[in-house]
Amino acid sequence: MMGIVREFLGPKSKYNKELPYTYMAKAFIFEDDDELVQHYFADTICGLIEYLEAKGIMPEEVELFGLYRKEEIKLDKTICTDEYGNWLQRPDICNALEEHFEETKDFLYKGHTAKEECSFDDRDRKGEGPN
């Protein structure tokens, strides 16, 4: 019964107002033009980055955002990249986000954990966006 309810209501973590409802990447079509962008989405930051990497979209081509109920907050994508500027993979991205939260207590990066239970475990990591 609980599975049916959860399927109807969606992941429990989506109702936690301290966590982003979803994540978004904006890829700019033309340099110096903020108007023409393509949007990519995933319910987890690791899923979004996996999707972007699969599409061949490099970190320098996008801006990352956490989408909350009433606001869109830009994320520091350097936390999601290695020293060469490439996207981090799981679990490295989980570790980087967790370490950043522990150091800064910046709630934008809360819940991404490799040491304990991930706050996003109940979410699908599938990314979506234009072909």
What's the CA gap between 98 and 80, in Å, rounded?
11
Q: Which of 39-43, 74-78, 116-120 has the lowest mean pLDDT?
A: 116-120
**Residue that has been written with the tokens 């956490």 in this structure:** 66
- Token digits of residue 102: 């522990």
Closest to 74 (Cα-Cα) out of 102, 34, 119, 114: 34
**Is the separation of the CB atoms in 93 and 45 below 8 Å?**
yes
Pick 18 or 38 by higher pLDDT. Answer: 38
The mean pLDDT value for 7-20 works out to 57
- How many Å apart are CA 103 and CA 109, to the nearest integer? 11
pTM: 0.76
pLDDT of 120 reads 59
What pLDDT is recorded for position 18?
66
- Is the sign of the CA dihedral 98, 100, 101, 106 positive or negative? negative
- What DSSP state is assigned to residue 118? -
